[in-house]
Structure 1
């Protein structure tokens, strides 16, 4: 994700290196925040708060942990705090309703509905299950990286993922039966 030389330069006070570092991670931070909070504005707020925290705490990063797990721990904790303070709401994003190719409108509509249903199903998961799903499948973290990011035992991560997948399977079983009409 990020080279160690850039991190060391940022830690030694190189402002340009720190800005470059923050730019390299901002999309990952936002994506995690969006999938945990399921709200664009909340995700932007959480991302900004996470980037500020990373900026102010870059010197506390130690190379014992991977940089991406350190960053994800920060953004995940901010999102969990934000999620606890506010009740999540489900919204349909405008970009899901834009169709570029009239020939594929039906396929795009079905894909849009499926993506929305998956997002809604993820939002119905308990907070800890939602978080591990986001880190595993949207951020492509290994089980060990998730355990490090969330400061959980590896077997707990495996258990949470197993239960989260089971819950998602139940929530999305209409699609397993061949789709939903109308």
Structure 2
């Protein structure tokens, strides 16, 4: 969590505070871009663009929104624009999905296959469903934070997540039959 004093100092033009602020958020910015875009190069480009936009727009940040949400909105909008231009597939790596209590090699192998199937299922979601899934389950945004980040009504976010979970359930139904079909 970024200290409010650091944000205020950056807004007041303190160059060192701005550099510290950008360093503190760069991992979050990149991670969000990567999960949405699924491509390292595109994510790096989007993160760089987001950090520049945050740098130039820091004066417009108002405390009525959480800083995390404000950043999320900037990154998500850049990624959605990039996604629409390039139409890349989101790729969530197996190591991004953590499985605990593996007791033997068979369990570890099954966990890799499960992660692959989950990744493939998420890849098949429509863009707007994929985005809310990434923000909710991989970036741990609350429903309200997603709504603010995407500039959507709260009920729309809930609806998107509900439909995305239904789609994932349907896609993953084939998991025990050897993988996601589609």
TM bucket, shorter chain = 0.7 to 0.9
Aligned to 1:13: 13
Task: Provide the TM-score with structure 1 as the length reference.
Answer: 0.85
1:4 is matched with 4
For 2:95 and 2:159, the matched residues in 1 are separated by 34
Question: What's the counterpart of residue 100 of structure 2?
Answer: none
Misfit runs of 4+, over 6 Å = none
Shift of 1:20: 1.3
Distance change >3 Å, CA 93–CA 143, structure 1 → 2 = closer
Change beyond 3 A, Cα 1:18–1:127: same
1:137, distance to aligned residue in structure 2 (A): 0.7
**Which residue is equivalent to 2:178?**
180
Q: Deviations 1:71-93 (Å, cap 9, x if unpaired)?
A: 00000001101110112146686
The question of 1:57 aligning with 2:57 is answered: yes
How much has 1:68 moved relative to structure 2? 0.5
* Count, aligned residues: 173
In structure 2, the CA distance between the partners of 1:162 and 1:94, relative to structure 1 (3 Å rule), is closer
Structure 1, unmatched stretches of 5+, are 97-102
Cα-to-partner distance string for 1:105-132 (whole Å, 9 max, x where unaligned): 5544432332232222212111111111
Residue 127 in 1 paired to residue 127 in 2?
Answer: yes
CA gap 1:93/1:161 in 2 versus in 1, 3 angstroms: closer
Cα drift, residue 63 of structure 1: 0.7
Measured at CA, do residues 37 and 121 of structure 1 come closer, stay the same or move farther in structure 2, by a change above 3 Å?
Answer: same
Q: Is the Cα–Cα contact under 8 Å of residues 144 and 154 in structure 2 kept in the other structure?
A: yes
Residues 1-182 of structure 1 aligned to structure 2 (within 5 Å): 1-89=1-89, 106-175=106-175, 177=176, 180=178
- Work out the CA distance in 2 between the residues paired with 1:160 and 1:34: 20
Is the 2:92–2:119 contact (alpha carbons within 8 Å) kept by the matching residues of 1?
no
